[in-house]
Amino acid sequence: TEKKEKEIKILTKNKEIQTLELSRQKLFRNLFIIGFAFILILAFVIYNRYRLKTKAHKELTKAHNQLNEAKEVIEEKNDHIMSSIRYAQKIQQAILPVHEKMKEALTDYFVIFKPQAIVSGDFYWFSQIKDKMLVAVVDCTGHGVPGAFMSMIGNSLLNKIVNENKIFDPAVIMERLHNGVRAALKQEGEDVETQDGMDVCLCVLETKKKKITFTGARRPLYHIHNSELVEIKGDRKSIGGLQKEEKRTFTKNEIEVNPGDMIYMITDGFADQSNAQEKKYGSRRLKEYLQKNTKLGSSEQKEALLAELKTHQGDEVQRDDITVLGIKM
């Protein structure tokens, strides 16, 4: 019996050992399965991230290449545009009056011509027919390329009206110019797409008669005699654009001048230029500055005006085209 009990105990012990061994094996197996599954999941996550990163890198590289291609196309087009604008600048410079011709006729004068962009919506014009000298300073709607196109129209019309049609009355010239601009821009019908136009200061100088005949469209003429400045206002209507009246006419002003007198024909760009405090230079201040420096020579007046503009403007961008034409009688 004792022997039997020992055998039973041994069997029981062996069974417990087997059970423990099976449990240990099961535990190792489960741990292995879990570990293997974890490794598989981790590998999948790493691979997926790598795949996404590779895909993102390829897409980024593709986008970068596309941007570089687009940049090259834009730069090439910009170069072509700038080349065209510079060529337009040469054309615009070519149609402006020749300095030598103006110098010979006017003797003592200066011009400040500062486009806001490469090309300008401002222009000045000159013609001499026998004893009459016709001078105009014109501010077209807009600046840059659109303004430059308008300036070409204005210059061409003035040449035709004065040099070809031999019209010397400034009021009639302005009337013809107004009608010409409206016809060129198709502003005469009911469906008008543009109301662009020009502000003009036009003078006919007859030095032998000591007389200037002035007509203005929204631009004045400044006349300095004995250090006193007189502003002769132009009509409050533009050349071209909207016309409510049946016929647009302009006023003719005759002004007596004497040797030493100065006249100034100016677009609004100088007075409208703002400084760092966003304050405009102003017409009143400009008139005072012209009056203060009127006894200087023409070249000295020009340099003084440019220095004054630079001081006022500082680092601010130029707002508009600037043109100043001064003539000493």
- pLDDT tens across 58-84, in order? 999 999 999 999 999 999 999 988 898
Indicate the range of 8-12, 46-50, 177-181, 187-191 predicted with least confidence. Answer: 187-191
Give percent of the chain above pLDDT 70: 98
State which amino acid sits at residue 58.
K
Burial class from Cβ neighbours inside 10 Å (0-12, 13-18, 19+) for residue 155 reads: buried
Please give the mean pLDDT across all residues of the chain. 92
Mean pLDDT, rounded, for 13-28: 83
pLDDT class for 180, splitting at 50, 70, 90? very high
Beta strands in the chain (DSSP E): 108-114, 122-129, 132-140, 197-206, 211-217, 221-225, 228-232, 239-240, 253-256, 262-266, 322-328
Q: Which residue has the higher pLDDT, 3 or 306?
A: 306
- In angstroms, the CA 43 to CA 49 distance is 10
**Per-residue pLDDT for 224 more than 80?**
yes
pLDDT class for 190, splitting at 50, 70, 90? low
- What are residue 325's DSSP bridge partners? 111, 265
Indicate the range of 4-18, 114-128, 201-215 predicted with least confidence. Answer: 4-18
Q: What's the pLDDT at 232?
A: 98
pLDDT class for 24, splitting at 50, 70, 90? confident
Q: What's the pLDDT at 191?
A: 67
Indicate the range of 33-37, 134-138, 223-227, 286-290 predicted with least confidence. Answer: 33-37
- Beta carbons of 141 and 196 less than 8 angstroms apart: yes
**Per-residue pLDDT for 5 more than 80?**
no
Q: What's the pLDDT at 138?
A: 98
**Per-residue pLDDT for 277 more than 90?**
yes
Q: What's the pLDDT at 11?
A: 78
CATH 1.10.10.10 is held by the domain 97-328:
no
Q: What's the pLDDT at 25?
A: 84
Q: What's the pLDDT at 62?
A: 92
- Chain-centre distance of CA 38, in angstroms? 65
Q: What's the pLDDT at 315?
A: 94
SS3 for 295? Answer: coil
